Amino acid sequence: MHNADFTRNVAKALNDAPQRAHLEHVITNFMRGRRGLFNDDEELAALREAANAVKRRVVGRLAEVLERLEASCAANGIQVHWAETGEEASNIVLDITRSVGGKTLVKSKSMVTEEIHLNKTLEANGCEIRETDLGEFIIQLIGQTPFHIIAPALHVTKEQVGAIFAEKIGIDYTEDPDRLQAEARRFLRERFRRADVGVTGVNFAVAETGTICVVENEGNARMCASVPRVHVAVTGLEKIVDRLADLPLMLRMLVGSATGQRISTYFNMVGGPRRPGDQDGPEQVHLVLLDNGRSRMAGDEELRQSLQCLRCGACLNHCPVFKRIGGHAYAATYPGPVGTMVMPQLKGLDEYGYMALASSLCGACGEVCPVMVPIPSIIRRLRVEAHDAHGAVLDHGHDAARMESLAWSLWAKVMTSPGLNAMARKTMAALGGALPAVGPLGAWTSVRVRPKFSSKGLADLLREEDAKEKGSK
Ligand code: SF4
């Protein structure tokens, strides 16, 4: 997508007053929940340091930890598959489904399967895949992509859900959340019973023990992992922790940052296929490890910090841009600050360079990130790279962009020349002392406090301060 398309999406989202009010309400609740849980700043700082250390240890020696994970999984009877691209990963899931003579699948919420467009591949090859997370189920019915990484149908109101269910699954219209949930459950139970394969994402894969961990609140991931004959877990190759002992901290940071809960309703730990004597569980468990640009990221000391991400969504909730425009305006699998940081790295600046501009760089995302990913500085770097290597991606020949470029080079000249600086200062002071609200500056200053110019330079002010101090002695 081009920057101009993004600008159009943003304008559309900003003009959608009901959506903005709904977003404000829901996201403020997420923020309140997180703040209520992590209300001791000192303790939170210590927890973030510890969580950062856990993930840093892993992404710094990714190849070694992955090898250990593969060996531990194999010892547990979990079949590990490596996929370099999204297409390869989707085809692996398709092949596994075909190998058991199946074509019906159920899936729990997983952003990585969105990244690889798994549903599209499976459906194009005659399979039926049903989303079973309530939010994902709703957006699948209306053919949309997730709006938020942890709340995919956050933008859909209960009245809209009532209308969607009435039209798509043939129930009488209701906007009672309990009845809507019961209807979704009734509809999905039948799909679980018939499914050949259950697909889940992975929140943590433990290298030490070969355990696949999935965090959820609805119990549908547990059903996906235990009811069908085959369980396939798909994950980006960064979702690993070294030791089982790392889990309590990481779970606390993930769940608390995401929803403000002390612990999620379900925490699933899959240690292999059904064993003799087990009452339930799949006959086969597969783990698909997806690269899709991640090893390239791991090779760069600064960018590899993006791989520490837990996909908790806290940076989205605290981002003033996301809070106003919502997820769909970005036209990317991962929206918000995390998307701005990872999409250009996963898919390249050619395609996603425009996202490097989708940030005010206020720093809120970096401050709330539970694993201390320096999101703003990574976005800044990508913005510079996008501009240097792909200026056209950002500009598209727009006059506004050229004007901005001209304005910044003029500003640089004035700020590096004492003579010009003094002249500009005096002129601005004579014109009333504030940035004039004319031309493109009109739009900029209409939503900002107009900066005031001093008739004196910093050196003059410091000299005056010095003189004052000497005079008072
Ligand atoms: S970058 Fe940090 S805050 Fe954002 S989703 Fe990832 S872990 Fe959460």
Between 415 and 435, whose confidence is greater? Answer: 415
Atom 6, ligand 1: residue with shortest CA distance? 309
- What is the distance in A from the centroid of ligand 1 to the CA of 159? 31
Atom 2, ligand 1: residue with shortest CA distance? 369
- Per-residue model confidence (pLDDT) at position 38: 97
Atom 4, ligand 1: residue with shortest CA distance? 315
For residue 137, give both structure tokens.
Answer: 């189920």
> Which residues does a 6 A CB cutoff place in the pocket of ligand 1?
257, 309-315, 337-338, 368-371, 373, 375
- Per-residue model confidence (pLDDT) at position 81: 98
Q: Which of 373, 377, 378 to mutate to test the pocket of ligand 1 (most atoms within 8 A of CB)?
A: 373
- Type of residue found at 96: I
- Asked whether the beta carbons of 333 and 149 are under 8 A apart, the reply is no
Atom number in ligand 1 closest to CA 310 = 7
Atom number in ligand 1 closest to CA 337 = 4
Mean pLDDT, range 98-111, rounded to an integer = 97
- Per-residue model confidence (pLDDT) at position 392: 46
Atom number in ligand 1 closest to CA 336 = 4
| pLDDT band with cut points at 50, 70 and 90 for residue 2 | low
Residue 306 has pLDDT above 70, yes or no: yes
- What is the distance in A from the centroid of ligand 1 to the CA of 347? 19
Mean pLDDT of the chain, nearest integer: 92
Atom number in ligand 1 closest to CA 341 = 1
DSSP state of 376: H
- Asked whether the beta carbons of 316 and 149 are under 8 A apart, the reply is yes
Domain spans of the chain, in order of start: 1-37+313-397, 41-295, 400-472
Nearest one of 30, 38, 200 to 108, comparing CA atoms:
200
Q: Which of 375, 378, 379, 382 to mutate to test the pocket of ligand 1 (most atoms within 8 A of CB)?
A: 375
Q: How far apart are CA 178 and CA 209, in angstroms?
A: 39
Backbone φ and ψ of 406, nearest 5°: -65, -45
pLDDT per residue as tens digits for the range 142-182:
999 999 999 999 999 999 999 999 999 999 999 999 999 99
Atom number in ligand 1 closest to CA 312 = 8
* 109 alpha-carbon distance from chain centroid: 14
CB atoms near residue 272 (< 10 Å)? 19
- What is the distance in A from the centroid of ligand 1 to the CA of 316? 8
Residue 443 has pLDDT above 80, yes or no: no
**For residue 31, with 0-12 CB atoms within 10 Å meaning exposed, 13-18 middle and 19 or more buried, which class applies?**
middle
CATH class of the domain comprising 41-295: alpha beta
Mean pLDDT, range 454-465, rounded to an integer = 83
- What is the distance in A from the centroid of ligand 1 to the CA of 459? 42
- Per-residue model confidence (pLDDT) at position 386: 87
- What is the distance in A from the centroid of ligand 1 to the CA of 68? 25
- What is the distance in A from the centroid of ligand 1 to the CA of 310? 6
- Per-residue model confidence (pLDDT) at position 399: 62
Cβ partners under 8 Å of residue 290, min gap 6: 83, 86, 89, 112, 115, 116, 234, 235, 236, 237
Residue 107 has pLDDT above 60, yes or no: yes
Residue 127 has pLDDT above 50, yes or no: yes
Residue 396 has pLDDT above 70, yes or no: no
Between 392 and 137, whose confidence is greater? Answer: 137
Backbone φ and ψ of 16, nearest 5°: -90, 85
- What is the distance in A from the centroid of ligand 1 to the CA of 17? 27
- What is the distance in A from the centroid of ligand 1 to the CA of 84? 24
Q: Is 242 helix (H, G, I), strand (E, B) or coil?
A: coil
- Per-residue model confidence (pLDDT) at position 50: 98
- What is the distance in A from the centroid of ligand 1 to the CA of 102? 36
Atom 3, ligand 1: residue with shortest CA distance? 369
**Strand positions, DSSP E, 245-404:** 266-270, 284-290
Helices (H) and strands (E) in the chain, counts: 24, 10
